[in-house]
Structure 1
Amino acid sequence: MCDNMKGQQFGQLMTTLLNTVCLQTVKNDMSICVIKVMETNEYIYLIMEHTGGGQLMGLILQNDGMQDEEAHRLFRQIVHAMQYFHQKGIVHLDLKPENMGVDTGSNITFIDFDLSTRFTAGKKLKRFFGTVLHVAPEIIQEKEYKGPQADIWSLGLLLYAMLTGKCSFEASNNREVKKLIKQGTYDILPRLRGTPELPL
């Protein structure tokens, strides 16, 4: 099969296979279940469970941000899941509301591991990609970076989005977004001022 593939097709195949491997490695109650994998001459199909509650982004956009208590409940689930993934040697590298589903019990499910990869403690990564709005400054600057720390940065951006319904860094184009990320320049919206700390 691989002999007949062009470079782009082979890259897509490797992404699909890595996605499958990561999903199987971190298989728990908060990662979507791969029910079946089917292969044709041109494609690989992943048959996954249906989460039932839609994307996390849908909840965020309903009311321009979530209520503090609900955001805290879901964010706590996300943090605990990321701790589990990191313990398994997997970094996500694309944490954003679009990559998380909500099941019928209103609990978080991770539904996309396309950019995930394995890491070794103490060693830095050299993969420079991801969704610009959600990546860490060191990835923007194309510096070697520690995978778990990059995920932690994205967790902060995710919490900001959950509470405000907005991205931390917003600009008219990617170049300006990258500039804001490097500078660490973002607005602390009135909603976030004086918000009491909630324990994880």
Structure 2
Amino acid sequence: MKCLLQVLKFIDRRGIKEWGKISDEQVPMEIVMLARCAKIEGVIRLLEWYQIPEGYLIVMERPFPIHGHVSILIKAHTTLDEDIAAFLMRQIVETIQSCIEKRVLHRDLKDENIVIDLVTGETKLIDFGAATVLKKSHYTDFQGTRLYCPPEWFLHSLYLGKEAAVWSLGVLLYNALNGRLPFRNEKDICTAHLLGPLPFYSPVSPEARDLISRCLHFDPFARCSINEMLSHPWLRRDRPSWTTLVTRLDSLSTPSSTSDNKENIDQNGDHSEELEEIHDSDWRDTQVKERVEPETDESGVGSSHDNHTESRPVRESRTAKTSLLVPPSSQEMKEVVSGVKTKSSLQSTSSQPMVVALRPRRVRNAPGDDRSPPVLTALRSALSRERASKLSKV
């Protein structure tokens, strides 16, 4: 008899932000979305769910054998071979396409939410805590990972579901082929298109670069669609079987060789060059940290000096010399909100630079906040009540 391994997840009632219905019963939206995706091969399967006073317990399958998340695979080998990345990426995109057909928007696509079986190469999409119903209009709330979030959210506090999913897939693919995320902060995300093509820190084919650039296009209406991703030559190319590909894992690039590649990046593609000296007013607008340039190699990069030395602002992140973008006009915003696809309704045509305040980082739980009970506490409470109920009937 085959034993089905299971995994248990606790959902705190106080942290539920969106609700849905199953058989006229109100449940967290995560349960509704998992139930919709029950027959999708690349999604973790929902087996059962239980309501308890503290929240909900959901029982899901635990695929065996699972060797960890895609993030662990990337960290272990720094970068992935293109054939391996394409093999995994095609499965992920097909899974997202199937979810969209079920009107499910995951909203937290990243390497940590994809588990992989190294024996078969199969992937499973997990963690639907931020998932919601896919709609044609825009969204004004965001619950995913900020470094995988598209620029229109930071600039306009709204985004479209499919276009945002394509952006996250582009970030995921870049991370798999380079061993690092393409953006380090919100300003990087919003100004990357002003700095030219993204830099690549390992050998990447032109076809892979083209697919990434199409996914990470600044204008959401100019990004490729999910179907266009699946029909892209890089994903359609015939690849070796997984049995053949898995033998390459031991020969992938090591951290030392990758760090050497980072030092030898083509200057035309490097986004970490220093800013020119700017006026005090411009310096206050960009809000980039200032550090002192060392005079000798013995001082170390960015070290401070007791004596007064000449200093100038140096960009520590991939931030453009200009400020961000001019906010859209009322007519442009109205077109975006109504879902009308314009040529570039989210992109400014004004030549005058203007600073746009980015949304502050949201902190879900303050340090030391232990309001959410752990899974074991909820289980013990439920079992204790059940045991007491059985004893009272004796």
Normalised by the size of structure 1, how large is the TM-score?
Answer: 0.83
Q: Which has the larger radius of gyration?
A: 2
Quick check: 1:53–1:106 contact (8 Å CA) kept in 2? no
State how many pairs are aligned: 186
1:178 aligned partner: 186
**Partner-residue secondary structure (3-state), 2:159:** coil
Change (3 A) 1:95 1:139: same
2:15 aligned partner: 11
Paired residue for 1:113, among 109, 125, 128?
Answer: 128
**CA positional deviation for 1:187:** 4.4
Paired residue for 2:31, among 2, 16, 20?
Answer: 20
Separation in 1, partners of 2:155, 2:163: 15
Change (3 A) 1:179 1:98: same
1:49 aligned partner: 61
Quick check: 1:32–1:110 contact (8 Å CA) kept in 2? yes
Paired residue for 2:142, among 104, 116, 128?
Answer: 128
**CA positional deviation for 1:19:** 1.1
Quick check: 1:95–1:151 contact (8 Å CA) kept in 2? yes
**CA positional deviation for 1:129:** 3.3
**CA positional deviation for 1:158:** 0.3
RMSD: 2.2
**CA positional deviation for 1:168:** 1.0
Moved more, 75-84 or 123-132: 123-132
Quick check: 2:178–2:201 contact (8 Å CA) kept in 1? no
Change (3 A) 1:131 1:195: same
Quick check: 1:124–1:146 contact (8 Å CA) kept in 2? yes
The letter of the residue matching 2:45 is: C
2:176 aligned partner: 162
Per-residue CA shift, 1:120-163, capped at 9, x if unaligned? Answer: 23x11111332111111112224322100000000000001111
2:152 aligned partner: 138
Quick check: 1:101–1:109 contact (8 Å CA) kept in 2? yes
1:93 aligned partner: 107
The letter of the residue matching 1:143 is: S
Quick check: 1:91–1:119 contact (8 Å CA) kept in 2? yes
Change (3 A) 1:194 1:13: closer
Change (3 A) 1:192 1:169: farther
Quick check: 1:31–1:110 contact (8 Å CA) kept in 2? yes
Q: Which runs of 4+ in 1 moved over 6 A?
A: none
Greater per-residue helix proportion: 1
Unaligned runs of 5+ in 1: 1-7, 171-176
Separation in 1, partners of 2:14, 2:201: 48
**Partner-residue secondary structure (3-state), 1:199:** helix
Pairing of 1:55-66 with structure 2 (within 5 A): 55-66=69-80
